[in-house]
């Protein structure tokens, strides 16, 4: 949870702020980050493989120059809410390995730079006042991660209660 007091903090770099937060599936309070003077978000969320969605609608990116690896390795990331197109001079592998990402278009491993950081032809999802925040898909959701009741990640379902994180962002509890 990012506290509201962060609104007064004006960093120039957010490089690696949430890097490798492997067990975190959400970040609350992103609207409290003041990004007006930020020039680099390099690896900001990189390798945070359990993140399911990010709401970046409040991000101001006018001065942004570097987004290299910003979301790289966020394997479960399905939605990045942002209504604006971004620009940056360095953006190599910005969306590398974000295989579940769906915005205006589905993820393409050959398109991983700043050109895809927009809600019209890229991986951002526009967040509006319609009440509909997520695009609908016809694909059946798949299991993205399995956990035990103690919070430990499992490679497969075991006898007893299993907690499944699905590709559509839902969580299911299954008894095997």
pTM (2 d.p.): 0.74
Domains contained in the chain, number: 2
Inter-CA distances, 114 with 25, 64, 137, Å: 24, 11, 24
In angstroms, the Cα distances linking 39 to 18, 52, 55, 74, 119 are 16, 25, 19, 22, 21
Predicted confidence at residue 97, as pLDDT, reads 97
Whether residue 158 is found in the same domain as residue 131: no
Whole domain around residue 147: which residue ranges?
A: 143-175
Phi, psi angles (nearest 5°) of residue 6: -70, -15
Low-confidence residues in the chain, pLDDT < 70: 129-139
88 with 126, same domain: the answer is yes
pLDDT value of position 161: 85
């Amino acid at each position: 949870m990012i506290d509201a007091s962060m609104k007064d903090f004006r960093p120039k770099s957010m490089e690696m702020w949430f890097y490798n937060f492997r067990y975190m599936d959400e970040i609350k309070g992103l609207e409290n980050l003041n990004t007006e003077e930020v020039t680099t978000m390099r690896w900001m969320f990189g390798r945070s493989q359990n993140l399911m969605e990010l709401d970046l609608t409040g991000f101001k990116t006018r001065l942004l120059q570097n987004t290299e690896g910003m979301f790289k390795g966020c394997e479960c990331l399905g939605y990045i809410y942002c209504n604006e197109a971004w620009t940056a001079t360095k953006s190599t592998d910005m969306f590398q390995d974000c295989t579940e990402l769906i915005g205006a278009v589905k993820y393409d491993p050959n398109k991983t730079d700043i050109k895809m950081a927009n809600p019209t032809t890229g991986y951002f999802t526009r967040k509006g006042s319609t009440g509909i925040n997520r695009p609908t898909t016809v694909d059946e959701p798949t299991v993205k991660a399995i956990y035990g009741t103690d919070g430990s990640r499992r490679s497969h379902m075991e006898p007893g209660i299993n907690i499944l994180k699905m590709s559509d962002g839902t969580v299911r509890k299954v008894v095997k």
